Amino acid sequence: MDKSNDCCSTHLIDGDGNFNAVGIDKFMKEVKLAECGLSYAVVAIMGPQSSGKSTLLNNLFGTNFREMDAFKGRSQTTKGIWMAHCVGIEPCTLVMDLEGTDGRERGEDDTAFEKQSALFALAVSDIVLINMWCHDIGREQAANKPLLKTVFQVMMRLFSPRKTTLMFVIRDKTRTPLENLEPVLREDIQKIWDSVPKPEAHRETPLSEFFNVQVVALSSFEEKEEQFREQVAGLRQRFFHSIAPGGLAGDRRGVVPASGFSFSAEQIWKVIKENKDLDLPAHKVMVATVRCEEIANEKFSSFIGNEEWRELEETVETKPVPGFGKKLSSILDVCLSEYDAEATYFDEGVRSSKRKQLEEKLLQLVQPAYQFMLGHIRSGTLDKFKEAFDRALNEGKGFAAAARDCTEYFMSQFDEASAGADIDQANWDSSKVRDKLRRDIDAHITAVRAAKLSELTATYEKMLNEALCGPVEALFDGASNDTWPAIKKLLRQETEKAVTGFSSALSGFEMDEVAKNNMLSRVEDHAKGIVEAKAKEEAGRVLMRMKDRFSTLFSHDSDSMPRVWTGKEDIRAITKTARSASLKLLSVMAAIRLDDHADNIESTLSLALLDPKAAASTNRSISVDPLASSSWNEVPSSKTLLTPVQCKSLWRQFKIETEYTVTQAISAQEASKRSNNWLPPPWAIVALIILGFNEFMTLLRNPLYLGFIFVGYLLVKALWVQLDISGEFRNGALPGLLSISTKFLPTIMSLLRKLAEEGQSHANADPQHNHPLPARSSQSGTNDYDSSSASSEVTSSENGNEYASSHYKAQ
Ligand SMILES: Nc1nc2c(ncn2[C@@H]2O[C@H](COP(=O)(O)OP(=O)(O)OP(=O)(O)O)[C@@H](O)[C@H]2O)c(=O)[nH]1
């Protein structure tokens, strides 16, 4: 029978002392040893070569170790150490069949492997069966004596050895009852124990401290097979629940968890082969360290490959994952509890330190995902805060209250959400992200606050602009003594109104008094600035305004009716009034007078510009022009709109530009006077009537004369109109005469030509109806007269209008 093909037995260490790690791993998987934890037992059998060890094990545990064929003779069949799984015994029990001692194959001196395998069996097994022939008991040259000596010697090489059960299996028992055999055997054992050299610490240590000695006797398999089987079946029962308290196994102090068995065995064999002492507690820790490390690494790798984790990690990079903390905690929990389950039977100190390391590694791995999650929570909370804050402001909530409430609410929202992202395994600090959120919120509030404040300021400034610009301009338009007081009053009213409104609008911001007052004073300054800017603007066009005012006053009477220069008006007085009114405008526009400080700009200006002679006489002693200065005495330069020099220059310009209007008026007045004087004086008219009374009467009595006179009148009138005599004389008598004299003859000629043409055309058109010429001429003359008269009237009317309109334009 070839043992290598057995499904449940494997060559653990070969004859040359090589450890079959691959084979044992495979074996462990087959028997599912790793799942057993500490619930497993290891049995080893030692004994002389061909003493029926394999036969016993196969019968006892249902194994399939190779037995020697009885017909081929007693030669060594078991080389090295074999291992098999005991069939049907609970808990899982492994059995090791060791190479027989005192074998002829290795020679008498080659005890190295024997000792090594004995030490290995003692270090690894809970129960060691010592197979011996019954007839060897009490014999001096017994085959098992060297074996026992070896066992006891190697036992000394184990530090803190656990108590192992040494079960002496007496084969081929004789009729001598066991009760008689056992004391002899125990005596033999004790003698051997006493003869073994021991270290100082164990010199007095009894055998029972190290070994739990048991003795069983079996009938011969060959001769009394039936009895043998019965006895073996009874013995088998003792291996059930061997590790339970009071069971067959020893104290199991050095036992390693089943999953570490293969590694532990390999390491023990390695140490034994290197001929070192075996420190089992240290070995246990070493095995635990290596195995826990392996388990931890395996769990870490399986965590990295975990689908759920990978999905979570991938998702959280782009968006928040609801229930992040719970999900991640549960994945980590599964991983760590798997570790716990597998490492549970290893040394507690090692196990927990490796668990801690695994946990740290896992937390390090998942921390970036947590940071992503916190980042999403932070940005999401910030966005929601902005929305809610805007909404609260739009609903009319006070700025500071809205900022405070929203901040408080959304910070608590963040705290809640970040608590949801926390995992049970770590106490991660989210305060940095929280602080960042707080900073972002504060920055947003500050930005919105600044925008709102500047919006409010702009609104009130705009209101002030609207309230002040137009009225101030109108007030400057009618510049008078009351202008600046009126402007001051208007400014005060509007400023008060704006400040009150602005102040109540600012109340929602809960600003400190100083800042608030600063803002209010800025609004006040703005109002003042508007007035000053308007004043500067108006001062820039003061010349135009002065001219307008002059024209208005000059060309209109006290009822604001356009003035017609009839000759009765006092142009000098009118001019003076108009100029002094214009000067008033100049003096009003010369400086900003928003404070109550009085100045004498007006008097200086009127003295220097309106009445230069008086000024000259007043200042004779000083002989200095009061306007030859670039500043007014009482007015600071910031409030000066027009310096004295500018005023002087403006006045000069003004006078030049208005002079034409005055000249025009004077001319018009003279022309008017002349046009009203064409009739002879009344006394001449009375003398003419008295002296010419007879001639008039004669003419009236004779219709022919009357007709001649009428025709003559028509001719003179026609000449008057044609020559525009009244028009020609408007520019003076001499130019009129000269002009008429040059135009007289051509006009007569053209008049006659027209008459001739008229007569010709009538003769050609209707030769039969030859109307009498006088009648026709009379009609024609009448028409001419009418049209001329009308045109003359129109012309004069147009001239009148033109005249009026020229005056109007001048205004
Ligand atoms: N006298 C006697 N012979 C036995 C007994 N059991 C087995 N044998 C015989 O002993 C011989 C050796 O049997 P194995 O079981 O191979 O002995 P072993 O100790 O495993 O041999 P190695 O592996 O070579 O050390 C076989 O021929 C068996 O038939 C027994 O109880 N009494």
Distance 224 CA to ligand 1 centre (A): 14
Query: Which of 63, 67, 75 is the best mutation target for the ligand 1 pocket, counting ligand atoms within 8 Å of the beta carbon and taking the most?
Result: 67
Distance 72 CA to ligand 1 centre (A): 12
Which atom of ligand 1 has the smallest separation from the CA of 99? 25
The residue whose CA is least distant from atom 32 of ligand 1 is: 220
In 3D space, the residue among 725, 476, 507, 422 whose CA is nearest the CA of residue 585 turns out to be 476
Query: Which of 61, 68, 75, 171 is the best mutation target for the ligand 1 pocket, counting ligand atoms within 8 Å of the beta carbon and taking the most?
Result: 68
The token duo for 413 is 């929202």
Binding site members:
47-54
**Three-class SS string for 286-355?**
HHHHHHHHHHHHHHHHHHHCCHHHHHHHHHHHHCCCCCHHHHHHHHHHHHHHHHHHHHCCCCHHHHHHHH
Q: Give the C-alpha separation, 359 to 627, whole Å.
A: 95
Cα of 59 vs its chain's centroid, Å = 80
Alpha helices in 177-246 (DSSP H): 178-195, 207-210, 225-238
CATH assignment, 3-276: 3.40.50.300
Distance 54 CA to ligand 1 centre (A): 7
**Whole-prediction pTM:** 0.63
Binding site members for GTP:
47-54
Q: Give the C-alpha separation, 512 to 516, whole Å.
A: 6
Distance 77 CA to ligand 1 centre (A): 10
Token pair 């027209």 is at which residue? Answer: 754
Distance 132 CA to ligand 1 centre (A): 11
Torsion of CA 486, 487, 493, 494, to 10 degrees: 150
Query: 809: how many CB neighbours lie within 10 A of its CB?
Result: 9
Which atom of ligand 1 has the smallest separation from the CA of 49? 25
Q: Give the C-alpha separation, 132 to 117, whole Å.
A: 17
Label residue 268 exposed, middle or buried (CB < 10 Å: 0-12, 13-18, 19+). Answer: buried
Which atom of ligand 1 has the smallest separation from the CA of 78? 23
Query: Which of 55, 106, 235 is the best mutation target for the ligand 1 pocket, counting ligand atoms within 8 Å of the beta carbon and taking the most?
Result: 55
pLDDT digits (tens, 9 = 90+) for 218-272: 999 988 999 999 999 999 999 999 988 888 887 777 788 898 899 999 999 998 8
Distance 70 CA to ligand 1 centre (A): 8
The answer to whether the CB of 237 falls within 8 A of the CB of 64 is no
Distance 48 CA to ligand 1 centre (A): 10
The residue whose CA is least distant from atom 13 of ligand 1 is: 52
The residue whose CA is least distant from atom 8 of ligand 1 is: 52
The answer to whether the CB of 385 falls within 8 A of the CB of 441 is yes
Which atom of ligand 1 has the smallest separation from the CA of 65? 20
Q: Exposure string (b/e) for 521-533, b if CB count within 10 Å is 16 or more?
A: eebbebbbebbbe
Which atom of ligand 1 has the smallest separation from the CA of 220? 31
Query: Which of 51, 81, 171 is the best mutation target for the ligand 1 pocket, counting ligand atoms within 8 Å of the beta carbon and taking the most?
Result: 51
Q: Which residues contact 220 (CB under 8 A, 6 or more apart)?
A: 171, 172, 173, 228
Q: Give the C-alpha separation, 220 to 734, whole Å.
A: 185
Which atom of ligand 1 has the smallest separation from the CA of 77? 24
Q: Give the C-alpha separation, 343 to 356, whole Å.
A: 13
Which atom of ligand 1 has the smallest separation from the CA of 76? 24
Distance 102 CA to ligand 1 centre (A): 15
The residue whose CA is least distant from atom 10 of ligand 1 is: 52
The answer to whether the CB of 407 falls within 8 A of the CB of 446 is no
Distance 52 CA to ligand 1 centre (A): 3
| Vertex 22 angle, CA 162 and 5, to 5° | 100
Is residue 149 left, alpha or beta, with left meaning phi > 0 and alpha meaning psi from -120 to 50? Answer: alpha
Q: Which residues contact 606 (CB under 8 A, 6 or more apart)?
A: 580, 583, 587
Distance 21 CA to ligand 1 centre (A): 29
The answer to whether the CB of 417 falls within 8 A of the CB of 355 is no
The answer to whether the CB of 6 falls within 8 A of the CB of 84 is yes
Distance 724 CA to ligand 1 centre (A): 174
The residue whose CA is least distant from atom 22 of ligand 1 is: 50
The domain segmentation of the chain, as residue ranges, is 3-276, 280-428, 454-540, 543-672, 692-759+775-788
Q: Give the C-alpha separation, 191 to 169, whole Å.
A: 19
Which atom of ligand 1 has the smallest separation from the CA of 47? 19
Distance 50 CA to ligand 1 centre (A): 5
Which atom of ligand 1 has the smallest separation from the CA of 55? 15
Which uninterrupted H or E stretch holds 92?
A: strand 92-98
Query: What is residue 808's predicted lDDT score, i.e. its pLDDT?
Result: 38
Query: Three-state DSSP class for 698?
Result: helix
Which atom of ligand 1 has the smallest separation from the CA of 66? 16
Query: What is residue 253's predicted lDDT score, i.e. its pLDDT?
Result: 75
The residue whose CA is least distant from atom 15 of ligand 1 is: 52
The residue whose CA is least distant from atom 9 of ligand 1 is: 52
Distance 23 CA to ligand 1 centre (A): 26
Query: Which of 221, 224, 229 is the best mutation target for the ligand 1 pocket, counting ligand atoms within 8 Å of the beta carbon and taking the most?
Result: 221
Which atom of ligand 1 has the smallest separation from the CA of 51? 19
Q: Give the C-alpha separation, 245 to 250, whole Å.
A: 9
> How close are the terminal C-alpha atoms of the chain, in Å?
143
Query: What is residue 385's predicted lDDT score, i.e. its pLDDT?
Result: 96
The answer to whether the CB of 544 falls within 8 A of the CB of 650 is no
Q: Are strands 92-98 and 40-46 parallel, antiparallel or unpaired?
A: parallel
Distance 108 CA to ligand 1 centre (A): 21
In 3D space, the residue among 140, 217, 229, 127 whose CA is nearest the CA of residue 177 turns out to be 217
The residue whose CA is least distant from atom 7 of ligand 1 is: 52
The residue whose CA is least distant from atom 19 of ligand 1 is: 50
In 3D space, the residue among 540, 485, 548, 803 whose CA is nearest the CA of residue 665 turns out to be 803
Q: Give the C-alpha separation, 266 to 287, whole Å.
A: 10
Q: At what angle do helices 703-723 and 773-810 cross, to 10 degrees?
A: 40
Q: Give the C-alpha separation, 769 to 67, whole Å.
A: 181
pLDDT < 50: residue spans in the chain = 1-7, 622, 767-811
Q: Running DSSP on this structure, what letter comes out for residue 591? A: B
Query: Three-state DSSP class for 482?
Result: coil
The residue whose CA is least distant from atom 6 of ligand 1 is: 52
Query: Which of 45, 50, 61, 232 is the best mutation target for the ligand 1 pocket, counting ligand atoms within 8 Å of the beta carbon and taking the most?
Result: 50
DSSP readout, 45-77? EE-BTTSSHHHHHHHHH--------GGG-S---
Torsion of CA 135, 138, 144, 148, to 10 degrees: 150
Distance 470 CA to ligand 1 centre (A): 132
Q: Give the C-alpha separation, 645 to 648, whole Å.
A: 5
The answer to whether the CB of 728 falls within 8 A of the CB of 718 is no
Q: Give the C-alpha separation, 601 to 646, whole Å.
A: 13
Ligand 1 pocket, residues with Cβ under 6 angstroms:
49-55, 67-68, 70, 76-78, 100, 171-172, 220-222
Which atom of ligand 1 has the smallest separation from the CA of 69? 27
Query: Which of 222, 223, 225 is the best mutation target for the ligand 1 pocket, counting ligand atoms within 8 Å of the beta carbon and taking the most?
Result: 222
Distance 15 CA to ligand 1 centre (A): 19
Q: Give the C-alpha separation, 38 to 726, whole Å.
A: 148
| Vertex 775 angle, CA 772 and 779, to 5° | 140
The residue whose CA is least distant from atom 12 of ligand 1 is: 50
Q: What is the ipTM of this complex?
A: 0.97
